[in-house]
Amino acid sequence: MPVYVADSSVFILGMPLSTRLQNRIITTPEVVSELVDIKSKTVFEAALESGVEVEPPLADLITEVRSRASRTGDIERLSDTDIGILAKALEHGGILCTDDYAIQNVAESLGIKTEPILQDGIKETFEWGRRCKGCGRRFESDVRICPVCGSETKGYKKSRKVLR
């Protein structure tokens, strides 16, 4: 039986977990800290009573996820919470429930299955790079200022792969 890893949006949007209760459902302490409104807290409390578990992500897997997110160029789009749930899904070989496209993009590159909540899932993956606004040179995703002309860089889709 697959393990499901729940992103904050599962609780914020009130995703019905009843169909997955026969499976193990896990989230992270960082996800819990993002639940600030009464509705999402209530949904989370009910999920806890139904057996949802809260586990911190493993440090070595956080490092692996950060490295992969840097390679795909999504690192700037991911929060520490996002990285943590990716690490947790990687640890358990789980299915990650999220609507976040950057998370889905990195998950796909790590071989993690995702399940969207309200949105459609991604239909293609991207690797992101940076392009200088001044001289047009292209760089990896971590270069913010062009070392050649000193202009800012902006993101661009370096490559893409169609899924399904």
pLDDT band at 19 (very low <50, low <70, confident <90, very high): low
pLDDT band at 123 (very low <50, low <70, confident <90, very high): confident
130 CB contacts (<8 Å, ≥6 apart)?
A: 138, 139, 140, 141, 142, 143, 144, 153, 154, 155, 156
| Average pLDDT value for residue range 29-46 | 95
Neighbours of 72 (CB within 10 A): 22
pTM: 0.79
Q: Is 103:68 a contact under the CB 8 Å cutoff?
A: no
Report the candidate in 161, 1, 34 with the shortest Cα–Cα distance to residue 10: 34
Structural domains present in the chain? 4-115 (3.40.50.1010), 124-162 (2.20.28)
103-121 pLDDT per residue, tens: 999 999 999 999 988 777 6
DSSP states along 79-133? -HHHHHHHHHHHHHT-EEE---HHHHHHHHHHT-EEE-SSSPPPSEEEEEEEEET
Cα 149 to Cα 8, 129, 141, 156: the distances in Å are 41, 17, 17, 19
Percent of the chain with pLDDT over 70: 93
Q: Work out whether strand 25-27 and strand 4-6 pair parallel, antiparallel, or are unpaired.
A: parallel
- Minimum mean pLDDT range among 17-26, 52-61, 154-163: 17-26
| DSSP assigned state of 143 | -
Q: How far is CA 101 from the centre of its chain?
A: 7
pLDDT score of 160 more than 90: no
pLDDT score for 96 = 95
| 1 vs 25: which has the higher pLDDT | 25
| 91 vs 2: which has the higher pLDDT | 91
80-94 pLDDT per residue, tens: 999 999 999 999 999
pLDDT score for 20 = 57
pLDDT score of 5 more than 60: yes
